[in-house]
Structure 1
């Protein structure tokens, strides 16, 4: 029942050594028997002993007492740390050596009372920082690297106050910025808003001042972000502090007739009440501790448990009561927190799962939907049943490489390089370790039943004998569903399952899931699917999970009606987010956006592993006004056609032509493969690596490197530099003059690289500056494009064309951090995520934005997107739709999201069994059409003479027939390839236009 009167501590400074010693011994004796819950009663004396007015000896003694108490009652000191830390930190700079040493020891002791494992390695720096401003700078720098995963409570926040106070008052804006980043990181992992309230009066003004005084925009943005995080972490706090007076009423009520009312009883009752109030405010409700440290004396020991129970109930804030699902069998009911890196995704949230339910998981990008499902599947969610108790399977698009055994040469075999049936067997037996072993025959029969092809069976887009790497996202998902079915999974978790599926396969998936006996947790941006399948909605809201129970087939609709503020989940809108695409820029010889700049002519393509072609006789054109949706069933050839168009695959038959200087951006179906090697880098660093030297390294990786038969034959021929003219020519045959042969052999040259390009004077062709193998740069030569193609070096020419196109696209950009950050901001990526967050810490939606922004860095003329809607939330989709509408380049989209396609495309390329059918058309806007119609078009014949073709309305039928003959003659005379393919196609288009005009005007 002892407390520490201030006058006892004052005796530590008595002139008499005996008195001073006796005072210190008395204090230590009291501290040995005092209850840990007496910390509030002790604080007045302790603060007085460390105040400015206290004598040095008194300060030293007080610091020693606090040090002793910290080792005895760390939780109690942690509770009081917000009050203790600043006085102790100040005394570490005391002019008296004895006081300073005692303060450093005390600071070390109380800093160890935070209970936060993430902070432990940094605590010595925190103690050092209290002693000087130089040490503060070093500490701030170190703390910036601290990743807070454990929930941050009041003691951890409190111990940082001295460091943050000095840092936020520092002259250096970089130090202030880093302090704000630390505040932001720590407050994101605060579980209980009440933990922030004690530090708000001190920290809020400092961070707010930083937002007003920092001049650097990026640093100021970090301060503004930290202030929002700080304030949000304290939102919704219902403080339930219990006073000693309130506790005293409960004590007397519990005692009833046993309350005597005499002076001794009143003193004892008041002391017990004070201890009980402190224990309650510390949220410490261990029954044994209450019995030992609060109610050891009679008559209180008999009622201490009743008092503890009443005060525990009184301390709890009123919680929002959700509608309970009382029917059915429980699979899981509990609470947990979830963090990812420096982000707190969920804090102390509840979740209740029942058998045979379909839970739709809703929330914005980076809220933690995928992370939650992956944590459950990987047995990382605290308190959630392990797989041997509750089989949980996570199905996603991307399948990671797994090293499964070692070959004879010592290299591991990756599971994704194995056949699909093998992957399912391995996943069931080795990854999930089910009791019932999945056999090869079981797996093959099941995969056949869900549509996989097989030897001797139907030729499907995916064959169960082919490696997993050859499967598209839809087939990979089917393969994982087979594994889930074989394992009899209790909980099946699906991440965007409809993303790669056509209409028929979505129906198949719905039927399959209807018959699934367990429960399903699913995230999807496909509203009709979710509305049809969901029985419940689990919504991410302010780091909590809120469950909504609805009627099947209209659950999502009912949720939207009840919570209209959640409409962004269901509408394509950019009210919250906006993308801004760069202007493509001009192309040489292209004066109209409607002019054809990319053409596929009679192209067929057959994969080496297949007998039948995947696409057959496909012809199409692309201009900068193209708004095309490429649609069709899975396996119809959509992605293959695009891969051939962009150069990822080489056509088996037919040809691809593109305008000189054309820049294309291609975002593949599995967009994340662009980022796989850069997960430890920031988005800014990735873009700066990718485009260093004006080359797109990702683009160069996917270009087909195989030589055609003609190119291989051409390269087998020998070429030399003529000693007289300096021109490159083919080496003469052996039958020619021996002397000439000898001279030619000595001058044989092989291109090593193209280092520059120029247009030949008065001609529409290019020359390339060639660096020759084994020759120095001063021996470079300019070689005509046609010669290089004849030599077999078309790809060398194409690469230099792409480099020149890229350079033209970057005339207004610099590859610097500020420039890249600005570019990323146009795609919804803030500077903090752009330059201070590793890619592996970003959500799937943010990664898609990074890939999209990188693809648009070179200001492309044509953007090709294969399944761009995967992982983007509704806000992101809305922003993408409106950005594509405003974009001045051509757009090609492969997507099964009808709502998205209808919002963008006016032209459809429909693939059916490898054949193409085109519906609709892409047209320029009215203003552009009027502008282009004002000028006459100039067309040249094979001899370079201009053919004047005015608007059809101004030509008589006789004139039109004459122009038709001139054009036909020009095309016929082009056997010697005087004109380029582009010029021939332009003439053919004009010819067809004139013929159609004559036909239309002819009498019926």
Structure 2
């Protein structure tokens, strides 16, 4: 159990948490929430032993092992799969000891080590590591690819895979979905729901938190509180607390009334399509959400576009790709004012390529891209953050865009994005990723675009800013095309889903739940196809071996050796059958249940070691006899 007793935490003399008293029990999955800078990462550093409390106590079991995602990945020549396996130090030490024991022929040591290896699920380690990598978007070919050959974003995924693979008592995850697409987020969600051990999770994705955590720990005004349930439960409790304050309650009612007008308007034009109805439900739920975030520091809207031509942009039989090679073909899209499109697709399917084509960032390979004369595109992608001038302040960035606008008007606008006071005049360079994303969005919104192309706009944004963006998009009059792994944003900001898959982009008839089911079925089919290929390969290998044995049997001058070969073949087959039987029996979970008699397990492992040793000797002798036969002259025909 983790216990905080009157704990006060500070960083650089700035108090973050004061007088915290709470307990986290083994097996809990706790979501840690709070504004950027509230102290979430500092609390993780405290749990990892990197910080000490100003006062009070932190109690954790001394035997607990801890896993967290490393911030950097060296350019190693090691294959990705081995890099992930190396994260389990005990596994690797045990494998080295087993190799040494087998080299020395120490049967008792081999049996003891193999027993321990079974206790930590060592026999399934490579399969488990591969499963984690596949779930995070790595292909089969990537498993043997050197770590040094992966880009920065993929190395972040490798670090996440390594942390997930560890057999830790406490897993600390800080924004694990930031570099993932929706498919990987869905896999990670299902994995975390069944993981053993205790989880502490920092995330600004409300759907992800709701699906994974059973408690929410919040840092608000230097106080640490613990709420039972998911993030929605915490949000409802927070809304109720805020409503106690009369001024906050009045603000809540104004915001809810504004949102209700939009919901009613949307319902009036919504069809019975699954995605449209899904969005109606999501918007209705935002009444509670709005109440919980009424004290948000963010308050902005999209100014009305200067022009709203219809259509804004069309693609006809368009093709897009790189190096002259098309990734997407026969694209047909019509973007009009008021359209709300969310793009779905597996990693590498071409979602970002499609957005770049629409934004005019890459050339057409074929077909037609036609834009309205008064089209004004607002394109947001992560590389926009790199275009910010590190030595200039938010105010200077905005003044560069609008040199004739009074400074106070620009300051008022920046205040809606929480760039107030000195924050508006500080250089951007030291800003956090979330602050830079906020500024990039503020600059983009100020240009009054009539078509928004947003590629993962919520990366690094906290929950308050994400909610403010959802609300601002409700009254936006232009068109929106969005790629995001944030399902709350997709549900509330889009009324049409398009799927990018197999080189095409087409309307997806369903909602996000339907997409998750489609994705699961697709992955199941892929696994079955892989298993079938492996089985066919094994059958072909077995057939070749049988034909080789039959040919050898017909050679009269080699009868003695052939007889021995036949005996060896029978011995190997018998021992392989026994090895498979032993492996099946060792996979029985009952053998490893707490309190179970260890003698049957140790006897099985001991017999398995004997079978493997005998099988290895038989296979070696088989090779020697076969070599002797090959050295003999060919029989006469």
Q: Return the TM-score normalized by structure 2.
A: 0.55
After the TM superposition, which residues 236-315 of structure 1 pair with which residues of structure 2 at under 5 Å, given as runs? none
Change (3 A) 1:642 1:899: same
Q: Does the CA-based 8 Å contact 1:865-1:892 persist in structure 2?
A: yes
- Say which of 846, 851, 869 aligns to 2:440: 851
- Say which of 203, 215, 218 aligns to 1:524: 203
Q: Does the CA-based 8 Å contact 1:627-1:892 persist in structure 2?
A: yes
Change (3 A) 1:623 1:378: farther
- Say which of 360, 369, 377 aligns to 1:664: 377
Partners in 1 of 2:374 and 2:13 — Cα distance?
A: 44
Change (3 A) 1:481 1:651: same
Once the two structures are superposed, what CA deviation does each residue of 1:6-32 show, in whole Å capped at 9, x if it has no partner? xxxxxxxxxxxxxxxxxxxxxxxxxxx
After the TM superposition, which residues 87-486 of structure 1 pair with which residues of structure 2 at under 5 Å, given as runs? 330-331=1-2, 333-334=4-5, 336-340=7-11, 343-350=14-21, 352-373=23-44, 376-377=47-48, 379-382=50-53, 391-395=65-69, 404=74, 424=84, 428=87, 436=92, 446-452=128-134, 470=151, 478-486=157-165
Change (3 A) 1:625 1:447: same
Change (3 A) 1:890 1:485: closer
Classify the secondary structure of the residue corresponding to 1:832: helix
Corresponding residue of 2:193: 514
- Say which of 528, 539, 546 aligns to 2:218: 539
Corresponding residue of 1:895: 484
Q: Does the CA-based 8 Å contact 2:85-2:165 persist in structure 1?
A: no
- Say which of 356, 375, 380 aligns to 1:643: 356
Classify the secondary structure of the residue corresponding to 2:349: coil
Deviation at 1:360, TM superposition (A): 1.6
Partners in 2 of 1:619 and 1:369 — Cα distance?
A: 45
Change (3 A) 1:342 1:379: closer
Corresponding residue of 1:913: 502
Partners in 2 of 1:662 and 1:626 — Cα distance?
A: 15
Partners in 2 of 1:840 and 1:876 — Cα distance?
A: 20
Deviation at 1:502, TM superposition (A): 6.4
Partners in 2 of 1:855 and 1:499 — Cα distance?
A: 21
Partners in 1 of 2:223 and 2:66 — Cα distance?
A: 22
Change (3 A) 1:378 1:360: same
Classify the secondary structure of the residue corresponding to 1:452: helix
Matched, 1:585 2:303: no
Matched, 1:824 2:545: no
Corresponding residue of 1:571: 289
Q: Does the CA-based 8 Å contact 1:885-1:904 persist in structure 2?
A: yes
Partners in 1 of 2:141 and 2:309 — Cα distance?
A: 40
Corresponding residue of 1:598: 313
Deviation at 1:915, TM superposition (A): 1.4
Q: Does the CA-based 8 Å contact 1:357-1:536 persist in structure 2?
A: yes
Classify the secondary structure of the residue corresponding to 2:195: coil
Partners in 1 of 2:330 and 2:148 — Cα distance?
A: 28
Deviation at 1:501, TM superposition (A): 5.7
Deviation at 1:521, TM superposition (A): 0.8
Higher radius of gyration, 1 or 2: 1
After the TM superposition, which residues 546-945 of structure 1 pair with which residues of structure 2 at under 5 Å, given as runs? 546-548=225-227, 550=228, 557=233, 560-561=236-237, 564-565=240-241, 571-572=289-290, 575-576=294-295, 577-586=298-307, 593-606=308-321, 614-654=327-367, 656-659=369-372, 662-669=375-382, 673=386, 678=390, 682-685=393-396, 687=397, 692=400, 810=402, 813=405, 818=408, 820-836=410-426, 840=430, 842=432, 845-918=434-507
Partners in 2 of 1:854 and 1:613 — Cα distance?
A: 33
Classify the secondary structure of the residue corresponding to 1:450: helix
Deviation at 1:518, TM superposition (A): 2.4
Q: Does the CA-based 8 Å contact 2:327-2:350 persist in structure 1?
A: yes
Once the two structures are superposed, what CA deviation does each residue of 1:583-617 show, in whole Å capped at 9, x if it has no partner? 4435xxxxxx1423433343334456xx9854332
Deviation at 1:916, TM superposition (A): 0.9
Deviation at 1:543, TM superposition (A): 0.6
Partners in 1 of 2:47 and 2:384 — Cα distance?
A: 25
Partners in 1 of 2:494 and 2:203 — Cα distance?
A: 22
Q: Does the CA-based 8 Å contact 2:133-2:161 persist in structure 1?
A: no
Corresponding residue of 1:488: 167
Q: Does the CA-based 8 Å contact 1:600-1:618 persist in structure 2?
A: yes
Q: Does the CA-based 8 Å contact 1:601-1:618 persist in structure 2?
A: yes
Q: Does the CA-based 8 Å contact 1:534-1:556 persist in structure 2?
A: no
Q: Does the CA-based 8 Å contact 2:206-2:488 persist in structure 1?
A: no
Deviation at 1:884, TM superposition (A): 1.9
Deviation at 1:522, TM superposition (A): 1.3
- Count of aligned pairs: 435
Q: CA RMSD for the aligned pairs?
A: 4.8
Change (3 A) 1:660 1:464: farther
Q: Does the CA-based 8 Å contact 1:452-1:464 persist in structure 2?
A: no
Deviation at 1:651, TM superposition (A): 4.6
Deviation at 1:495, TM superposition (A): 3.2
Classify the secondary structure of the residue corresponding to 2:300: coil
Once the two structures are superposed, what CA deviation does each residue of 1:702-748 show, in whole Å capped at 9, x if it has no partner? xxxxxxxxxxxxxxxxxxxxxxxxxxxxxxxxxxxxxxxxxxxxxxx
Q: Does the CA-based 8 Å contact 2:78-2:147 persist in structure 1?
A: yes
Q: Does the CA-based 8 Å contact 1:537-1:559 persist in structure 2?
A: no
Partners in 1 of 2:241 and 2:353 — Cα distance?
A: 41
Partners in 1 of 2:365 and 2:83 — Cα distance?
A: 31
Deviation at 1:394, TM superposition (A): 3.5
Once the two structures are superposed, what CA deviation does each residue of 1:472-527 show, in whole Å capped at 9, x if it has no partner? 6xx66653332114443332222344566666644532332234232111133444
Q: Does the CA-based 8 Å contact 1:537-1:556 persist in structure 2?
A: no
Change (3 A) 1:559 1:900: closer
Change (3 A) 1:831 1:860: farther
Once the two structures are superposed, what CA deviation does each residue of 1:640-693 show, in whole Å capped at 9, x if it has no partner? 211333244445444544455644332225775556x73x764335x26xx85x
Bigger relative contact order, structure 1 or 2 (CA pairs below 8 A, ≥6 apart): 2
Change (3 A) 1:682 1:340: farther
Change (3 A) 1:616 1:625: same
Q: Does the CA-based 8 Å contact 1:868-1:895 persist in structure 2?
A: yes
Change (3 A) 1:485 1:644: same
> Which sections of structure 2, spanning at least 5 residues, go unmatched?
96-121, 244-251, 253-285, 510-637
Change (3 A) 1:337 1:877: same
> Which sections of structure 1, spanning at least 5 residues, go unmatched?
1-329, 405-413, 587-592, 695-809, 921-1004
Partners in 2 of 1:418 and 1:599 — Cα distance?
A: 46
Q: Does the CA-based 8 Å contact 1:614-1:914 persist in structure 2?
A: yes
Change (3 A) 1:515 1:919: closer
Classify the secondary structure of the residue corresponding to 1:512: helix
Classify the secondary structure of the residue corresponding to 1:824: helix
Deviation at 1:850, TM superposition (A): 1.6
Change (3 A) 1:666 1:368: farther
Deviation at 1:852, TM superposition (A): 0.8
Classify the secondary structure of the residue corresponding to 1:848: helix
Q: Does the CA-based 8 Å contact 1:560-1:566 persist in structure 2?
A: no
Classify the secondary structure of the residue corresponding to 2:311: coil
Q: Does the CA-based 8 Å contact 1:537-1:547 persist in structure 2?
A: yes
